[in-house]
Structure 1
């Protein structure tokens, strides 16, 4: 069972998200909050698998709440609910350790799929948000994108061949279980590889590692295999 804390200051949005999650027997909303401070309190009390946070809330917004939850309840993954007009905040949330971003206007099935992916240890970006993140990574004049690629390749040079393979699959959005199946490994071994990769790359979570994988060209190299 995936235990969820849901935080949004709009009652109708909370009701809608709760109703969507309620259609899946594997997901249980254990607590709701109307602002970021309440969300942090609920996460500390219930220690859920996932905290779903609106990006804009009173007292403490979703970004600050997510950062605090990751700091004080590190076993709880954070998913941010956002809109296109708020995607400028994505980089900040990534830096604070968020594991997923979902559009409020997205397909309800995407909400469930995203929660399950994050609960399973994967990173998840709504496809439309992912397109904008990748576009932003590739944006800029001159050799900006090329410089990032060179820097990323230098960062991943400390990894072994197997770790590079795992990182490429993390970048492709696969969960630990899916990577284990693809590489014929046990899931515990994959978790160990991922932990080592995060440490060696000096990144906080799988989303940041996935960005490095994209910049280093590992995802393109691995996704076709």
Structure 2
């Protein structure tokens, strides 16, 4: 698993590199100090995961994430910060970041990297508990205007409640393959990237 670390605090970047390289499954291919370098390094190395601070001088982590994901939609970006900032949480979710963790929780970073590498989206406990409240919106959304069927809306609701494909299949008496087909259709109709964005979309338009 090849990782790039970008943090404007060289001591933090060094500490993260030391911690991660103690894991035989992780190789830190490069480090950077701002969002501009993050974009350059991503293009150069195409890492499995970009581990990046959000608050940096010059181009910050969110701006860099937006640029990288615009160029490489499948990029896996795990964002770090020193505090839980509501505005950043929402922006990171909307961008399609694969994770958002509090930087001081070093022990959680290696397992979070493995989870993101395996295709999961990871948010720290403090963050997960706040997501539904942060994304609530009073704006009603007409799903039928996007040709979303009642069955697809059921699946959207279950995804937003954290159900896996297997759990959705059991709940709705469908096969997992059928659930995957529905999810692909939902992503296409709503122009979303993954199931995390489906959950974000649901809470934004609830």
Same structural fold, with TM-score higher than 0.5 when normalized by the shorter chain: yes
Could you tell me how far 1:91 is from its partner in structure 2? 1.8
2:125 aligned with 1:130: no
More helix by share: 1
1:66, 1:96 within 8 Å by CA — same for their partners in 2?
yes
Structure 1: gaps (5+ residues): 139-143, 218-225
Q: Indicate whether 1:113 and 2:103 are aligned.
A: no
CA distance in 1, matches of 2:123, 2:69: 18
With 32-41 and 19-28 compared, the bigger mean Cα shift is at: 19-28
User: Are the structure 2 counterparts of residues 23 and 154 from structure 1 closer, same or farther at C-alpha, using a change threshold of 3 Å?
Assistant: farther
Cα shift at 1:37: 0.8
For 2:141, the equivalent position in structure 1 comes to 151
- Partner in structure 2 of residue 222 of structure 1: none
Match in the other structure for 1:65: 64
What are the superposed Cα offsets for residues 104-147 of structure 1, whole Å, 9 maximum, x if unpaired? Answer: 12251x21232222222222211101112223235xxxxx5xx4
Rounded to whole Å, the distance in 1 between the matches of 2:29 and 2:191 is 33
**For the aligned residues, what is the CA RMSD?**
3.3
Deviations 1:60-79 (A, max 9, x none): 11011111111122232111
Under a length normalisation based on structure 2, what TM-score does the superposition of the two structures give?
Answer: 0.77
* Corresponding position of 1:199: 188
**Preserved contact between residue 203 and residue 209 of structure 1 (Cα < 8 Å):** yes
Q: CA deviation at 1:201?
A: 2.5
Give the number of equivalent residue pairs: 200
- Structure 2's unaligned 5+ residue stretches are 170-174
Whether 1:41 and 2:40 are equivalent positions in the alignment is yes
Kindly tell me: are residues 21 and 159 of structure 1, through their superposed partners in 2, closer, same or farther at Cα, counting changes over 3 Å? farther
The one of 156, 168, 171 aligned to 2:158: 168
Moved more, 27-36 or 205-214: 205-214
DSSP 3-state at the match of 1:84: coil
User: Which runs of structure 2 are paired with 1:175-186 in the superposition (5 Å)?
Assistant: 179=165, 185=176
Q: Give the conservation status (yes or no) of the 8 Å contact 2:53–2:79.
A: yes
Tell whether 2:198 aligns with 1:209: yes
Task: Give the aligned partner of residue 99 of structure 2.
Answer: 100
TM-score w.r.t. structure 1 length?
0.71
Contact 1:99 1:205 in 2 (8 A): no
Corresponding residue number in structure 1 for 2:11: 12
1:32 has 2:31 as partner = yes
Task: Give the conservation status (yes or no) of the 8 Å contact 1:122–1:170.
Answer: no
**Aligned-residue offset at 1:200:** 2.0
